[in-house]
Amino acid sequence: MSQDQEYVEHRVNELRREINLHNYYYYVLDDPVISDAEYDRMLAELKDLEDKYPRLKHPGSPTMKVGAPPAGQFQHREHSLPMYSLDNSFSLEEVREFVLRIRKQIPDSDPHFWAEPKLDGLAVEIIYENGLYVAASTRGDGYVGEDVTDNIRTIRNLPLALFHVDHLPEYLEVRGEVVIPRKEFARLNEDKARKKEKVFANPRNAAAGSVRQLDSRITAFRPLYFFCYGTGISRFKSGAGWQSQEDMARGLNALGLPTVPGGRICRDPEEVEQYFREQLDRRELSDFEIDGLVIKVNDIGLQQRLGFTSRAPRWAMAVKFPALQGRTRLKDIQVQVGRTGALTPVAILDPLNLGGVVVSRASLHNENEIRSKDLKIGDLVLVQRAGDVIPEVVRPETRERDGTQKDFVFPEKCPACRSPVARIDDEAAIRCLNMSCPARLEQQLIYFAGKQGLDIEGLGRQWIKVLVEKRLLYSPADIFRLTLDDLLPLDGMGKKLAQNILDSIEKAAQKATLPRLIAALGIRHVGVETAKRLAENYKDLDELAAADENSLQLIEDMGPKVASSIARFFANPQNRKLLEEFKEIGLWPSLAPGTGEDLPLKGKKLVFTGAMQALSRDRAREMVEKLGGKVSSSVSRNTDMLIVGENPGSKLTKARELGLEVLREEEFLSRITKWSI
């Protein structure tokens, strides 16, 4: 290597170190030590050197934050450990109950707590290997999220290379929230309004929409910030990992990672209450949307002993702030039609700013709610953001009425198709009875293609709306008849995108299982779990369609309301015609009911823990259910078998304490192979 080359390499490394350090000062410590002009000069010099000497380009370079060309669609990415949600509480009294539960479960414990503001953003997981950023994904359903690696890379306060401290982990999964500052959110919406584009409802929606852009170059221009609150799996070159949440926060900061601002130790419920009131008093002064406090047991060893329920850790909880409220005028009430035909009245409000979010619409749910709240068009009304997110009309200010207010008359015909509407049985909802109603059709198709249905990637709400408007879709079966000739004439549709959508449709058809297809039909009261139980008892849709209410009620946990809804759905001639269309296009999965005694996992409950190498969690669940078993997320005395991957955690300890059967992943796969032969 020549002397000039050595100098260039030295200069590039020096610039990277300085820029990363100044990013840390600016975005993490909020204490810049150089001017913006000086920073821009260094970044421009680094980019120029990397362009001239491509061999010196590096994935951890700050110049890699500009974004990448558009992706066709997001791929799924499985979390090594589940990203659980938190149990919410809405009173400080529940904090004391939370502490009592901990002491009851582990009598010798005297827990201290790590408390921090609850940022209202999009939860993501970010992975570093040997100090370098390698991947990122959204929380998704807690087990599988969307791979957003290129988009998260562009976030301004996120280091692509960690600081090389003594305690640098070889592998680190960081979990946190992607957020947008209030002021930046206001500017973003002002810019969208100037361009006559639809504005974002709130900063959380803006953050989520920005992260899920297929073109990461758009994400790069959005004012996104990331703050971490915890970790998944972490492996260190030497020594143990962090022993407490406080140690973790300090350790992550030392690596150059931004943590949630304002976290601190609280020794007892009284200190938690004091901190809660402090944060409540300053919530409007915060740079970011805060909707409460998160409280965690500080000692990580104690966290592991406490473990998890099926959906949340027993060692953490969220305490939500009271809802933000304000007064505005109820200008009108409009009626929307959903996929089940329900007519939902929506309040049209004079725009009201609640905590930096402009509220102009709020669901009124049904006619009964309008009557019980005595709402009239023209009323001055009290409005709140429930959970700081969902707008809700609390009540009218009746003393402010001046005689100009008008009663709302619920329509006797569907506003979308002019067909008759009726209230079925004793339901509160009034429904359109026309199965071919265009408003119902659009919502049905969105559900059918969405995550609760067949999960057709790329065929989202906007494209379905266009396809319905262009009269290319009249039923779910029509999705599988789409061609390039249908898609290419659509505005904004290129050949590559069109082919990606068709490939996703074909893939969804090939992977469709009977439970998924039943769920996708959108039968009222039939969700994913009910669909699974139906598939265990009926081999295909024909057999299910022939079942009467009495036989349906013989299924475990199947009540008369659900049975009646299923029978009514399949009694409809149009729905029976849809089944014939599914047969014609080859969308006809079948599954032998799981009632036979020969299924090796019949009635068994299995739990998976740790990082699986050969199996995704979805694939493992599918294999277990096909063999008659069920997958649970928590270990208990009712668990029959624990399947262990890498870094299994507290579930393995509990399984051994209970004397449960424990199999390594390769042992489980060996058994599956034998059972499947």
Buried b (16+ CB within 10 A) or exposed e, 402-428: eeebeebeeeeebebbeeebeeeeeee
Q: How does DSSP classify residue 593?
A: -
Q: Give the C-alpha separation, 78 to 160, whole Å.
A: 21
Task: For strands 88-89 and 316-320, give the pairing.
Answer: parallel
41/565 Cα distance (integer angstroms): 66
Out of 65, 104, 118, 237, pick the active-site residue.
118
- 439's tokens: 């408003």
Residue 144, strand partner residues: 78
SS3 at position 469: helix
In whole angstroms, give the CA distance from residue 300 to residue 313: 12
Residue 134, phi then psi, degrees to nearest 5: -125, -25
Q: Burial of 23 by CB count in 10 Å (0-12 exposed, 13-18 middle, 19+ buried)?
A: buried
DSSP reduced 3-state for 499: helix
Could you give the angle at which helices 182-194 and 203-211 cross, rounded to 10 degrees? 70
Structure tokens at 378: 């023209």
State how far the alpha carbon of 377 is from the alpha carbons of 173, 348, 392, 399, in Å: 52, 9, 16, 15
Q: How many other C-beta atoms lie within 10 A of the C-beta of residue 533? A: 18
Question: From the CB of residue 583, how many other CB atoms can be counted at a distance below 10 Å?
Answer: 14
In contact, 388 and 291? CB cutoff 8 Å: yes
Length of the chain: 677
Round to whole Å and give the CA distance between 205 and 3: 52
- In angstroms, the CA 443 to CA 441 distance is 6
Backbone φ and ψ of 121, nearest 5°: -140, -155
| Rounded-to-integer distance, Cα 95 and Cα 474, Å | 52
Residue linked to tokens 């601190």: 264
Residue 124: strand pairing partners: 138, 176
Q: Which region holds residue 653: left if phi is over 0, alpha if psi is between -120 and 50, else beta?
A: alpha
Q: Which H or E element spans position 229? A: strand 225-236
Give exposure, 633-644, as e/b (b: 16+ Cβ within 10 Å).
Answer: bbbeeebebbbb
**Residue 496 among the catalytic residues:** no
CA distance 101 to 118: 22
Q: Where are the beta strands (DSSP E) in 74-217?
A: 76-78, 88-89, 113-119, 122-129, 132-138, 144-146, 169-179
Question: 616: buried, middle or exposed (CB in 10 Å: 19+, 13-18, 0-12)?
Answer: middle
Give yes or no for a contact between 349 and 330, defined as CB atoms under 8 angstroms apart: yes
Separation between Cα atoms, residue 128 and residue 117, nearest integer Å: 25
Which residues are catalytically annotated?
118
